[in-house]
Chains A and B, each alone.
Chain A
């Protein structure tokens, strides 16, 4: 993969994506072969927003490759609290680590930070913008369960503020995929993503009701309403709880439907769904480790 940084799913070609997924499959098959590959290598974790899965899976991935992490800790305990700019923070920490992982509440933060450092920088979520490594593990999970040929995928929930949706939508334009976007009118995909999908010639439909498409879906990707990104509480209350699925919803779905969710969930998927064959979100979360091991391996040296 010829990338200095991983900033946006838009920068990933089909060949880049397949290289990561193939490497992840290889790692999952024989993790021992990679166990001490990056001994002495340090990954810098810069998380300016809370995170469980992304932060822990990057940490686990680096350690399973034989390396270690240096962690900025919380914003409250760092120099950011003293007013240090992001540009200064990344320039300092690149001296401590061989690669950086950045999560930040501002859109475009990873792109800007990448312009100030020479070590590889990975965007682990920039506001409502992009989350490309989540997309790579999503694609890995889709390939495992449904494949990429003639794929019909429904993406439902907060399409406006959901960065995992934006990245996934861009990445899917590389494949033979029909994308059905299901959301309240107020949480439609942003204009910029719709523009890119149109430019890419993607087959896209927008819906306000899941029933319009559920029966034809191979994959249903459900997302949380991103309460923290709403400008006001009333706007959030208007749409909260509108898009939920439970076992009765699935009566109209195919038996081989793959239900995904980037997690954490609030109430979008009832716990009763967890026991169905269709629930794939925990497998999806677990795939974060081999996929991020593959990303680190390819960014840090590949076949060295």
Chain B
């Protein structure tokens, strides 16, 4: 790991999410559902200098490997992120996030007149655009503040 990454402590087992756009680390934690109450050891570096991004955030989560669903949503707000799976202090997997074509059941449509916000047996479904997402039911396009739409 680079010197910059060492500004936050190494982890034994878990996930390092690197190359997050500066300022987005707390949204990433929200996506992976970490608010500190579960006892996970979490290290967060914000606005760390980065060759690729200028400034970046980095999140290290002890004892937790991200699911594909979590990585899919992560890709929407941190498209340049890399995921490092760490086991016994070694990085055993390293890959960039890939934006999926569609995310299902992970974002809530902000259109309060959309049928998916009502008490119907249907999951939200969003097409992933180059610069945002689009509800497949009501067509609403969202480009900003995606993290606020994550289903609790």
Contact = CB atoms under 8 A, between A and B. Distances in A.
B134 interface: yes
A112 B113 contact: no
Contacts of A86: 115, 118, 120
Q: Is the interface of A mostly helix, strand, loop or mixed?
A: mixed
A128 B141 CA distance: 15
B122 interface: yes
Interface string A257-287: 0000000000000000000000000000000
A126 B140 CA distance: 14
Contact of B134 (A105, A126, A192): A192
Interface string B108-144: 0001011110111110000000000011111111000
A106 B136 contact: no
A282 B12 CA distance: 75
B121 A85 contact: yes
Interface residues of B, number: 18
Contacts of A195: 134, 141
A184 interface: no
Nearest to B124: A108
Interface string B76-94: 0000000000000000000
Among A105, A108, A115, A193, find the residue whose CB has the most chain B CB atoms closer than 10 A.
A108
A112 B141 contact: no
A105 B141 CA distance: 19
A107 B138 contact: yes
Contacts of A192: 134, 139-141
A107 B120 contact: no
Contacts of A104: 115
Interface string A162-187: 00000000000000000000000000
Contacts of B135: 108
Given A112-B120, A193-B139, 9 more contacts: A104-B115, A106-B113, A106-B138, A107-B115, A107-B139, A108-B137, A109-B115, A111-B136, A192-B140
